[in-house]
Structures are given as structure tokens and as C-alpha cells.
Homo-oligomer: A and B are copies of this chain.
């Protein structure tokens, strides 16, 4: 921790601050400068609670050098984590590039089964489908909820495909975890800490999406909740951030993927559908995610996007997805990686 004093701080201010630091069980080191003095703080084990200092009028700024997360940091766990999703399917490290696909919302048995069979045929190992749908307007379709869970469970039993669905409330954890293979925590719930704690108590794999306006640090802080409460099977998912630009639904922050991979040992995947919100941009950004080193991608597809109950404009037709998958496969081969499930 570094404490920067105001230009006007007196020698007495410096002494007083040094005393406070000593009382906190730490060691102060004064760093006098031409324009102002700074005081370095030594001896802390992890994050320091700066409350006894924050209010001192002589202090201009307190700079924390230690990060607010530890378990997810590569500093303390240098090797890539590999998360097992079910069967032989893994993500992270040198695992094949993971492809997840499916409709935004579970709408009917037929829609889901048709999609699952299509994916199985292509060798895609994981089906996504929302049972509980967070929607801006209460007048929009809210998902089939429990009915949707049942359909996901039926479909995975019948086809052997792994299924993932979003969880939106801590009280659903037990119920949802029984019916699906992987949980998803959505962007709007990235800082729903009670949900994080509850999902942290089980060991189901969980995909944690980045919040619409979450910094990388906040995102890793949320992942830290999951690990601290006992669940190490966490996969991060970049899905676009909110910026001033409205020509795309969100701004795909692809550069953050290689950066996050340096900061954490957890796998990181990409969601090109929400990141762009436009069908035509899904393919190019999915390919870009392979190239920047993502561990996988999650894509919205629908047997009949024109009649999808949500996110139609960003959902691919089956034909379009086949094309995408073929191009992703070629690109992973070119990059001397593999594609999942094949």
C-alpha cells in the first residue's frame, strides 16, 4: 500500500500517519519527494483494510498494490485450471476449443430436441438454453422456468448432450443443479453476491459472465466469491460491455481475453451473440475469439430465429452455425489446437 500525502502536509502529519500505520501492525517507510511525501506500507499479508487512514486530511490518495482477489490469481496458482464439464468434456489449459450452442430461451420440447440432435450430429458437446429469462420489461416472455428445466433434463437424458442454463436466484440452486450439467451466472447477476455464495457451495461447473459495466477486477472479485465458498470449477465468459456506441448491442471486448488469461488461471470463453447482438457479426467475432486465445465460445442458434421468443436478431440459423463451426474447426486446426467433442 502506498499513501500519497498532500503538497501541504506537515512533518507532524507524517509522524501521525506513521504512528497509525504502526498501530495497525504494519511498517511505514517515508518516501519524501520534491513536491510531496509518500509513505510506503510494509508487512501486510494480503489486502489491507485502510479504514483507519482513509479520513486523514493530510492524505491525498491511497494506492493498493495488493489485489482484492487471491484464489483466482495466477500469482498464487500459476498453472492453467482445467474444468471438467461432464463425461470427457473439459475446458481450459490445452483442452480442445469448447463450443456451446443453443437457443436463448427454451421454448418447447420440439425446439430443444431438434437443436440437441442437430448439435450431437455435429459433435458439439454442450447445449445452452434459458429456462429463467431475465428481461428488461416484465411484459416480455419470462421463460418456461421449471418447465424449461424439465425439458433440459429430458433432452440431456435422451441425447447424452451436456446442458447449461442460467440460474437467477439463490433459492433455485439445488433445483437447477439437479437438472443440468453446468450453471450459468448471467451478466446482470455477476454481482448478485448471495447467488455467488450459494453456487459457491456446490461443485457444479459454472460459467460466470462479465457484467455489462464490470471492470476486470470486479469480474475476478466475483469469481473469487465462487472459489472462496468452495467451487473451483469456474469458467469466465466475456460477453461484451456497455459503452457509448449503440451500433452494436454491446462492445465485444476481445482484447480483454488474453489479458485476463495472464491475470487468472481460470478458463475464459467468449459469447459472440450477446457481445454484438447482430447475426452477421457472430461469425467474424467467434473466429476472432479463437485467435486471441479464448478457451471456447457460446453461440445462440435457433431452428427458426424469425419466430424466436427472445434474441432472434442475434441467433444463427442451423445452416449458418454449420458454416461457423466448419470455419472455427479449420482455424483451430490451423492454430494447432483441437475443437471440442470431435
Contacts and interface: CB of A to CB of B under 8 A. Distances in A.
Nearest to A71: B138
B193 A134 contact: yes
Given A191-B134, A213-B213, A243-B251, A34 B44 contact: yes
Interface in A115-150: 132, 134-140, 142
A189 B216 CA distance: 19
Contact of A194 (B6, B168, B193, B280): B168
A170 interface: yes
Contacts of A246: 215, 246
A15 interface: no
Nearest to A212: B213
A202 interface: no
A245 to B, nearest CB: 6
A116 to B, nearest CB: 22
A305 to B, nearest CB: 5
A54 interface: yes
Nearest to A277: B255
A243 B66 CA distance: 24
Interface residues of A, number: 109
A317 to B, nearest CB: 9
Given A254-B288, A255-B275, A38 B65 contact: yes
Contact of A40 (B31, B75, B255, B331): B31
24 contacts: A7-B75, A7-B76, A29-B29, A29-B31, A35-B65, A40-B40, A47-B139, A52-B306, A68-B136, A68-B139, A69-B139, A70-B139, A136-B191, A136-B217, A138-B193, A142-B193, A189-B192, A217-B247, A248-B256, A254-B254, A254-B288, A255-B284, A257-B284, A284-B292
Given A46-B139, A245-B253, 19 more contacts: A2-B31, A2-B40, A7-B75, A8-B75, A35-B46, A40-B40, A47-B139, A47-B140, A168-B194, A192-B192, A213-B213, A215-B245, A217-B247, A243-B251, A247-B256, A254-B254, A255-B275, A284-B292, A334-B334
Interface of A: 2, 4, 6-8, 29, 31-36, 38, 40-47, 51-56, 61, 63, 65-66, 68-70, 75-76, 132, 134-140, 142, 168-171, 188-189, 191-195, 212-213, 215-218, 221-222, 224-225, 228-229, 241-248, 251-259, 262, 275-276, 278, 280-281, 284-285, 287-288, 290-293, 305-309, 312-313, 330-331, 334
Give 10 nearest A-B pairs by CB, closest first. A68-B137, A213-B213, A31-B40, A288-B288, A55-B306, A169-B194, A188-B191, A7-B75, A284-B292, A252-B255
